[in-house]
């Protein structure tokens, strides 16, 4: 029991580190996406591109199954600025606008 308790704590540390990495990657993605959207809207184009978003949905679904579609939808929402970035991410130049 003691062994499993300390093992679970270690494994949770690994999960916490992975989650921190995922959040950092999503913050970076939102920043890059926001830059692309600004380039396009500044040139008079639309903010979003449906065909490109369908490609991304398919990639996540192929990689992660049905949950991948849901994750991709949330990622795209975050990157359109409709999601909520963590305050720390927004301060470091996230895609808040």
Ligand X SMILES: C=C(O[C@@H]1C=C(C(=O)O)C=C[C@H]1O)C(=O)O
Binding site for ligand X (CB under 6 A): 33, 36-37, 48-49, 52-53, 56, 76, 79
> What's the closest the beta carbon of residue 66 comes to ligand X, in angstroms?
20
Please return the burial class of 68, using the count of CB atoms within 10 Å of its CB with bins 0-12, 13-18 and 19+.
middle
> What's the closest the beta carbon of residue 75 comes to ligand X, in angstroms?
7
Nearer Cβ to ligand X (53/96): 53
Nearer Cβ to ligand X (49/88): 49
Report yes or no: 37 and 48 within 8 Å, Cβ to Cβ: yes
> What's the closest the beta carbon of residue 48 comes to ligand X, in angstroms?
3
State the Cα angle at 67 between 74 and 65, rounded to 5°: 130
Nearer Cβ to ligand X (36/88): 36
Phi, then psi, of 44 in degrees rounded to 5 = 90, 5
């Amino acid at each position: 029991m003691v062994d499993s308790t300390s093992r679970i704590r270690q494994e949770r540390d690994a999960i916490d580190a992975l989650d921190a990495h995922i959040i950092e990657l999503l913050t970076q993605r939102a920043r890059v996406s926001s830059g692309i959207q600004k380039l396009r809207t500044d040139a008079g184009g639309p903010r979003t591109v449906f065909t490109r978003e369908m490609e991304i949905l398919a990639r996540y679904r192929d990689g992660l199954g049905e949950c991948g579609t849901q994750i991709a939808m949330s990622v795209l929402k975050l990157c359109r600025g409709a999601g909520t970035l963590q305050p720390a991410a927004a301060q470091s130049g996230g895609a808040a606008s």
